[in-house]
Amino acid sequence: MNNTALKNAGPRFDVASVRRDFPILARSIHGKPLVYFDNGASAQRPLAVIDAVDDYERHHHSNIHRGVHALSQEATERYETARDRVVGFLNARSRQEIIFVRGTTEAINLVAQSYARPLLVPGDEILITHLEHHANIVPWQLVCEQTGATLVVAPMDAQGEVHAEAVEALMNERTKLFACAHVSNALGTVLPIGRLIGAAKARGITTLIDGAQAVPHMPVDVQALGCDFYAFSGHKLFGPTGIGVLYGRESVLDRMPPWQGGGDMILAVTFGKTTYNSLPYKFEAGTPNISGAIGLGAGIEYLAGLDLAGAHAHEQALLEVATEALGEIDGLSIVGTARDKASLVSFVVAGVHAHDLGTILDEEGIAIRTGHHCAMPVMDFFKVPATARASFAFYNTFEEIDHLSAAIRRAKAIFA
């Protein structure tokens, strides 16, 4: 389908109406209407989230699981309702499987320290892929240093695709854990995680999926996937920062020791012995980010009210239009051309460094991410120091992509 046909494809997802749900999209930057193409770094919040957090802060705040007083009960009820929404969102079996954490990074570190560290011995292997975010590399390197295990990296190809055969060839009796991204933050590649999880399970390998870049773009069903762990961040899912989720299979979580000790994760403490609380509280030491969880729950509820199939189709149309429009610019190369991609385009422009491009686009009101995207091994693979990345959400428009193309051409003219 060509550019024009895509723009006119029906039935249309009602972007104009959805945009009104996100107050920040009405902003101007340097006198120009904001074009927000940095959704992969952090998405914007709808009013539903802003209002839910505001309502909690104004009317219901207290500590949870503590007091018998009304406010504590109201706060607890709202926090636990948010957990129930996450259960539905991921199709987990129960609320015991949903642990609130700060974000994807903390979720992976929790699994590294509480699951992998006690289990691994020298000679064991942790398998990841070449396109991982640093948050799905460094926690495993730490565990390898601590246990003597080895980190094994499955390759990707020149399109930024990870082939299941290549990953499976590296799975063996020493592999104790397989951790990979659902969607690459630097390239947009959607990984064949259904097949990869199946291959790992068949060999008795525990699996963790970094879903930070996937949950804003596609439905996720952890039971259908069959993974042992799935992690994501609230702020990339139109919710607040500082809140995220670790899904863990209950039978696996049960066997793990607590990660952090403190309040809420205990049933009884004496100086001789502490009895840990049941799941999920065993992994939620200390007062959590209550308003963050409530905001995340509101974000999930907001998404449930959207035409998600329409939103997905719109995002894929944005991706196609952007790929075509940017591809027409002389000297522009798209980095990451996998067949199955989420809605983002990473690129470099000959003669214009990504940071200069970022500054020039910002003057036009266009927010993109420039740099290594916390994926330095990906940059090294493609032999670029940095890329520019435009990452889309369902509230972005085709007109905004026209602005992006025009601004890139202006940047080229400055450096011509």
Catalytic residues, by residue number, are 374
Of the CA atoms within 13 Å of residue 184, those in its CB half-sphere come to 32
Tokens 């690129």 correspond to: 347
Residue of 237, 360, 407, 408 interacting with another protein (CB under 8 A): 360
Which residues between 315 and 354 bind another protein (CB under 8 A)? 353-354
Residue 359 as a binder of another protein (CB under 8 A): the answer is yes
Given the rule CB under 8 A, which of 173-181, 209-217, 219-227, 364-372 is the region that contacts another protein? 364-372
Instruction: For strands 35-36 and 366-367, give the pairing.
Output: parallel
Residue 414 as a binder of another protein (CB under 8 A): the answer is yes
Q: Shortest approach of another protein to residue 131 CB, angstroms?
A: 17
Residue 27 as a binder of another protein (CB under 8 A): the answer is no
Contacts with 255 (C-beta within 8 Å, 6 or more apart), sequence order: none
Of 226, 247, 209, 205, nearest to 83 by C-alpha is 247
Residue 146 as a binder of another protein (CB under 8 A): the answer is no
Residue 379 as a binder of another protein (CB under 8 A): the answer is yes
Q: Shortest approach of another protein to residue 56 CB, angstroms?
A: 34
Residue 134 as a binder of another protein (CB under 8 A): the answer is no
Exposed, middle or buried, 292 (CB in 10 Å: 0-12/13-18/19+)? buried
Q: Determine phi and psi for 401, rounding to 5 degrees.
A: -70, -35
Residue of 30, 195, 203, 255 interacting with another protein (CB under 8 A): 30
Distance, in Å, from the CA atom of 25 to the CA atom of 21, rounded to the nearest integer, reads 9
In the complex with another protein, the residue whose CB is nearer, 381 or 394, is: 381
Contacts with 225 (C-beta within 8 Å, 6 or more apart), sequence order: 193, 194, 197, 209
Q: Shortest approach of another protein to residue 403 CB, angstroms?
A: 16
In the complex with another protein, the residue whose CB is nearer, 42 or 62, is: 42
- Asked if 220 contacts 214 with a C-beta cutoff of 8 angstroms, the reply is yes
Contacts with 327 (C-beta within 8 Å, 6 or more apart), sequence order: 334
Q: Shortest approach of another protein to residue 352 CB, angstroms?
A: 8
Given the rule CB under 8 A, which of 118-126, 276-284, 342-350, 365-373 is the region that contacts another protein? 365-373
In the complex with another protein, the residue whose CB is nearer, 66 or 372, is: 372
Of 318, 327, 375, 362, nearest to 347 by C-alpha is 327
Buried b (16+ CB within 10 A) or exposed e, 67-96: eeeeebbbbbebbeebbebbbebbebeeeb
Residue of 55, 320, 324, 363 interacting with another protein (CB under 8 A): 363
Amino acid code (one letter) for 38? D
Residue 406 as a binder of another protein (CB under 8 A): the answer is no
- Residue 97 DSSP label: G
Give the containing element (helix H, strand E) for 80. Answer: helix 70-90
Residue of 139, 188, 258, 371 interacting with another protein (CB under 8 A): 371
In the complex with another protein, the residue whose CB is nearer, 286 or 385, is: 385
Residue 382 as a binder of another protein (CB under 8 A): the answer is no
Q: Computed from CA positions of residues 76, 82, 85, 91, in that sequence, does the dihedral angle turn out positive or negative?
A: negative
Q: Shortest approach of another protein to residue 72 CB, angstroms?
A: 42
In the complex with another protein, the residue whose CB is nearer, 262 or 351, is: 351
Residue of 269, 385, 399, 406 interacting with another protein (CB under 8 A): 385
Residue of 20, 66, 372, 409 interacting with another protein (CB under 8 A): 372
Where do the DSSP E strands lie in 194-327? 206-210, 229-233, 244-248, 266-269, 274-276
Residue 413 as a binder of another protein (CB under 8 A): the answer is no
Residue 376 as a binder of another protein (CB under 8 A): the answer is yes
Residue 355 as a binder of another protein (CB under 8 A): the answer is yes
Note the residues at the interface with another protein (CB under 8 A): 30, 353-356, 359-360, 363, 370-372, 376, 379, 385-386, 414-415
